Amino acid sequence: MTAHKASPQERLQQAMRASDAEAIRACVSQLHPVDLAEICRDEMPYAALALLSFLGAAARAATFTELPPERQRRLAELMTEEELGDLLESLAPGARADLFRQVEAGRRQGLLRYLTAEEQRELERLASYPEGTAGALMTPQFVAVPETATVQEVLEVLQQHSDEAETIYQVYALDESGQLVGTISLRKLILARPSAPLAGYLTRDVLTVEVAAPQEGVAEMISRYDLLALPVVEADGRLVGIVTYDDAMTVAEEEATEDMHKGMSIGRLEGSVRTARPFELYRKRVGWLVLLVFANIFAGAGIAHFEATIEAYIALVFFLPLLVDSSGNAGAQAATLMVRGMATGEVRRSDWARLLGREVAVALALGLTMALCILGIGTLRAGPEIASVVAISMVLVVLMGSLIGMLLPLGLERLGLDPATASAPLVTSLADIVGVVLYFALATAMLGLPA
């Protein structure tokens, strides 16, 4: 489906390697800013800068806007003040604030002189909203009209602002203090009688978010109610921006990536996994791994308690990785089902009793199936007594693992913590600590202590 798109991209990359300016210019004109941005993201920074220099101001701004923040920062570092100032000037206000956030504090003052006094004020206001909030995600380029306007007047405003507005399909009506009092879609506007007052056509019960709202909640609301744009207001109700559906899609994709990484106890990466530096990856991965080393030392201490049993029945050790993996895998499955269900709103805390009953049934069925698989081979390899211990342990550890995986996210949420902390590594390690002790205790009880 993208096969017909891949070709001009590849040709551009070849032309860049060959430093063939004419070929670069020819390819560049055929590519969408999104595709150009992908190349700027993947190439070395100097190559990306060179590519940007082949674009006109508008295309350069559009391409730069599509770059991930950490790549914007890297390229900004390499630009002269004049290059950066020109770029800043040609960006839309929202993208301008995003770039300004990435520039070192020391360079900011110098850059401001490329902007008009009004642009400077707007930029400083927008850049002050912290990353990850509705304020940082929004664009100030919406179409607002006084609630006293007529339909015809609104249509004229739309025609005038069509170029710079992010969307003209949703119009916002304000009272004299700038408070949002209602909205109307262009769809309804073109059906309305031109001379009629706007007020009669307004939808007054409007969903809004405050500037400080976290961006994932904003994206969820847009997706849930199929909104084209969601208005963002200050605490006093003044409309200051809108978040559009396409930004919500980008946020949703980033959040899904973050959730998947969190499910493996990987911290939030600043940029793309492709360009992350080794030390950043190390730092984001090492935390829970080390914590779980210490947790696992408890499991080791538990085993030491059963030294005599192990010495008498060495074959028990052969089945240890099997049991450890099985309980961990079943537990990680249960945790993932819960954490994702809670993230999408399908599963709520009040469901816990019903879900617990179901998980017990499923886990027992899983454990029994796996126990049956091991019973035959186990008997052949280690005799019926040990095979029985392993099979019964299998049922118990799978049940344990599943219950830990299911209940831990609920418990964490209950405590006001993020349920996603119940990652596969954490659940696996907890399930293993319980499972290992259970296995050897059962063996000691069933096989008897050695004489």
Residue 93 C-beta: closest distance to a copy of itself, Å: 18
Encoded one letter per residue, x for contact with a copy of itself by CB under 8 A and - for no contact, window 27-46 reads: -----x-x---x--------
* Residues contacting residue 118 through CB under 8 Å, at least 6 positions apart: none
- Which of 23, 303, 392, 441 lies at the binding interface for a copy of itself (CB under 8 A)? 303
Encoded one letter per residue, x for contact with a copy of itself by CB under 8 A and - for no contact, window 331-360 reads: -xx--xxx-xx--xxxx---x---x--x--
- Comparing CB distances to a copy of itself, the nearer of 111 and 180 is 180
Query: Binders of a copy of itself among 366-405, rule CB under 8 A?
Result: 366, 369-370, 373-374, 377, 381
User: 207: helix, coil or strand?
Assistant: coil
6 lines the binding site for a copy of itself (CB under 8 A): no
Tokens of 421: 């902390």
Encoded one letter per residue, x for contact with a copy of itself by CB under 8 A and - for no contact, window 64-103 reads: ----------------------------------------
* Residues contacting residue 78 through CB under 8 Å, at least 6 positions apart: 45, 46, 49
Give alpha helix (H) positions in 230-319.
245-262, 278-304, 307-312, 315-318
DSSP string, 332-381: HHHHHHHHHHHHTTSS-GGGHHHHHHHHHHHHHHHHHHHHHHHHHHHHHH
Q: At what angle do helices 105-112 and 81-90 cross, to 10 degrees?
A: 70
Q: How far apart are CA 436 and CA 432, in angstroms?
A: 6
Tokens of 196: 């009629």
Residue 126 C-beta: closest distance to a copy of itself, Å: 20
289 lines the binding site for a copy of itself (CB under 8 A): yes
Residue 110 C-beta: closest distance to a copy of itself, Å: 33
290 lines the binding site for a copy of itself (CB under 8 A): yes
Query: Binders of a copy of itself among 407-426, rule CB under 8 A?
Result: 424-425
Helix (H) or strand (E) holding 103: none
Residue type, 198: L
Q: Which stretch binds a copy of itself (CB under 8 A): 113-121, 143-151, 171-179, 320-328?
A: 320-328
Residue 25 C-beta: closest distance to a copy of itself, Å: 19
Encoded one letter per residue, x for contact with a copy of itself by CB under 8 A and - for no contact, window 191-230 reads: x-----------------x---x---x---xxxxxx----
Please say whether the dihedral angle defined by the alpha carbons of residues 165, 171, 173 and 178, taken in this order, is positive or negative.
negative
**Residue 101 phi/psi, 5° resolution?**
-60, -30
Query: Binders of a copy of itself among 141-200, rule CB under 8 A?
Result: 155, 158-159, 162, 168-169, 186-187, 190-191
Q: To 5 degrees, how large is the angle CA 7–CA 13–CA 19?
A: 135
Encoded one letter per residue, x for contact with a copy of itself by CB under 8 A and - for no contact, window 248-287 reads: xxx-xx--xx-xxx-xxxx-----xxx---x--xx--xx-
